[in-house]
């Protein structure tokens, strides 16, 4: 009978590969069109690959806990001639060569002693491939060796160079690698590698931070009257969206000698996931009142924690909101994502004395620090400060959000 391959799909923008984590269908079983057949994991989320049509799963050509490139043949479906005709396909020629000879597999034996194979993070597995850069000078031999090991210039920060003008020589590098092998090593998750890469790319820009203490009493009072109750970060997210809708220039990206203004006020928010941070996105936040955002916000938080965010809820945001106050922190300097100019942070609320001129005395208020970190090429301190002041003013009238 004719066969149709099950192909590793493109699971997201710039995703180059995914790891097989679970079989949802056994070999020999019948499947329907669009039925989930295998569970895979990228650095962003866990997703399912579906069958292209109805048929019998003849065999899997891949292994659990190994990484396969987009376009790799995962398995073969045995289908009827009628099904082939219905899909408008001629009988394909099936290449029975071993998978290792037909697809790019970026996996190695893990050293955790479990006997299972684990995926080693590689440059090609990152959302946007990053190459070694940043050192004042690296010889071609050094660059080739680093690329071979999947390392970056930032990974060499701990090496004291012995060459001319402090240059790191290949001998310094090999001694550094040899010393690493004497230490306890654990495999970094693909998410951790992706976060590291994003922060490296973000740090190529001049970043600055401004801050402002804000009274949260109006927000806390308004929250008590709501059902369901919005979280403090959602108030900040909505206020940021309104402020950027009034003036989108602060969220623009500098490309060459042009400021690229956003076409939609899509704002992300940071959610801590296992060994990393995911950024779900709420779309067109300036056009949706706070009451309409709560359920979707809570849903995306849970999906992010499970690493099951749909592709429509990731990427394309113009700014991020992060509530570092959930960790008890009162002040921090978050770093905006590489494709963004802004990140708004909210610290933990504290009861502090505040001078009330009408009462001529100090009164207790709940206060939190708002921080705005930004690309200094796009914004100066004055513009950033005005944006932060506008956000604070909007938080002072939460009923209008």
Report the C-alpha gap between 129 and 145 in whole angstroms.
17
Report the C-alpha gap between 279 and 200 in whole angstroms.
17
Instruction: Encode burial over 83-122: b for 16+ CB neighbours within 10 A, e otherwise.
Output: bbeeeeeeeeeeeeeebeeebebbbeebeeeeeeebbbbb
Here the CATH number for the domain that contains residue 237 is 3.30.559.10
User: Are both 246 and 383 inside the same structural domain?
Assistant: yes
Helix, strand, or coil (residue 303): helix
Here the CATH number for the domain that contains residue 95 is 2.40.50.100
Phi, psi of 235 (to 5 degrees): -60, -45
14: left (phi over 0), alpha (psi -120 to 50) or beta: left
Gap between the terminal Cα atoms of the chain:
61
Report the C-alpha gap between 201 and 85 in whole angstroms.
49
User: Are both 233 and 355 inside the same structural domain?
Assistant: yes
**Nearest alpha carbon to residue 187 among 253, 101, 275:** 275
Tokens of 106: 């970026």
Q: Which helix (H) or strand (E) holds 30?
A: strand 30-31
User: CB within 8 A of 289, min separation 6: which ones?
Assistant: 401
pLDDT the model gives residue 185: 75
Spell out the per-residue pLDDT of the chain, length 401, in tens.
788 889 888 877 667 788 898 999 999 999 998 899 999 987 667 888 988 888 899 999 999 888 888 888 999 999 888 877 776 665 544 444 444 333 333 333 333 443 444 443 333 333 333 333 333 456 677 777 777 777 777 777 667 667 665 677 778 788 888 877 777 877 777 777 777 778 878 888 889 999 999 999 999 999 999 888 999 999 999 999 999 999 988 888 888 888 888 889 999 999 988 777 889 999 999 999 999 999 999 999 999 888 888 888 888 899 999 999 999 999 999 999 888 899 999 999 999 999 888 889 999 999 999 999 999 998 899 999 999 999 999 999 999 98
Report the C-alpha gap between 48 and 22 in whole angstroms.
9
Report the C-alpha gap between 126 and 141 in whole angstroms.
24
pLDDT the model gives residue 89: 65
Tokens of 3: 């066969």
User: Are both 218 and 149 inside the same structural domain?
Assistant: no
Report the C-alpha gap between 71 and 49 in whole angstroms.
12
The dihedral over CA atoms of 67, 71, 76, 82, expressed in degrees to the nearest 10, equals 160
User: Are both 158 and 34 inside the same structural domain?
Assistant: no
CB contact at 8 A, 239 and 394? yes
**What letter does residue 7 receive in the DSSP assignment?**
E
For Cα atoms 373, 379, 382, give the angle at the middle one, nearest 5 degrees: 90
User: Are both 28 and 89 inside the same structural domain?
Assistant: yes
Say what the pTM is.
Answer: 0.63
pLDDT the model gives residue 158: 65
**Nearest alpha carbon to residue 244 among 372, 148, 349:** 372
pLDDT the model gives residue 258: 81
CB contact at 8 A, 3 and 94? yes
User: Are both 83 and 224 inside the same structural domain?
Assistant: no
Report the C-alpha gap between 146 and 107 in whole angstroms.
18
Tell me which residue range forms the domain holding 158: 127-193
**Nearest alpha carbon to residue 198 among 68, 43, 310:** 43
Domain count, the chain: 3
User: Are both 52 and 95 inside the same structural domain?
Assistant: yes
User: Are both 28 and 45 inside the same structural domain?
Assistant: yes
Which among 97, 118, 139 is the end of a domain? 118
């Amino acid at each position: 009978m004719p066969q149709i391959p099950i192909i590793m799909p493109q699971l997201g923008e710039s995703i180059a590969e995914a790891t097989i984590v679970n079989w949802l269908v056994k070999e020999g079983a019948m499947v329907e069109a669009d039925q989930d057949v295998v569970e895979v994991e990228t650095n962003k989320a866990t997703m399912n690959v579906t069958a292209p049509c109805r048929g019998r799963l003849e065999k899997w050509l891949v292994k659990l806990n190994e990484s396969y490139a987009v376009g790799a043949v995962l398995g073969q479906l045995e289908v009827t001639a009628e099904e082939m005709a219905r899909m408008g396909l001629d009988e394909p020629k099936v290449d029975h060569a071993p998978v290792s000879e037909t697809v790019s597999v970026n996996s190695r034996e893990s050293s955790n002693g479990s006997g299972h194979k684990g995926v080693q993070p590689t440059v090609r597995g990152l959302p946007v491939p990053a190459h070694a850069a940043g050192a004042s000078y690296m010889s071609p031999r050094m660059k080739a060796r680093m690329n071979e090991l999947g390392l970056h210039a930032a990974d060499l920060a701990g090496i004291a160079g012995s060459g001319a003008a402090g240059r790191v020589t290949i001998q310094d590098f090999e001694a550094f690698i040899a010393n690493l092998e004497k230490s306890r090593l654990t495999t970094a998750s693909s998410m951790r590698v992706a976060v590291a890469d994003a922060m490296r790319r973000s740090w190529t820009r001049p970043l600055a931070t401004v801050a402002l203490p804000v009274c949260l009493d109006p927000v806390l009072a308004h929250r008590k009257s709501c059902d369901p109750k919005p979280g403090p970060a959602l108030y900040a997210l909505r206020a940021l969206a309104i402020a950027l809708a009034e003036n989108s220039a602060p969220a623009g990206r500098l490309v060459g000698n042009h400021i690229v203004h956003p076409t939609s006020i899509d704002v992300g928010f940071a959610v801590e996931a296992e060994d990393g941070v995911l950024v779900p996105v709420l779309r067109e936040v300036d056009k949706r009142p706070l009451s309409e955002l709560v359920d979707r916000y809570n849903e995306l938080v849970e999906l992010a924690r499970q690493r099951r965010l749909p592709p429509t809820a990731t990427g394309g945001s113009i700014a991020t909101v992060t509530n570092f106050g959930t960790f008890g922190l009162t002040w921090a300097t978050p770093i905006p994502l590489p494709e963004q100019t802004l990140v708004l942070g909210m610290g933990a609320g504290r009861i502090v004395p505040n001078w009330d001129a009408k009462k001529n005395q100090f009164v207790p208020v709940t206060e939190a620090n708002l921080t705005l970190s930004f690309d200094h090429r796009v914004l100066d301190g004055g513009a950033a400060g005005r944006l932060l002041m506008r956000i604070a003013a909007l938080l002072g009238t939460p009923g209008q959000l």
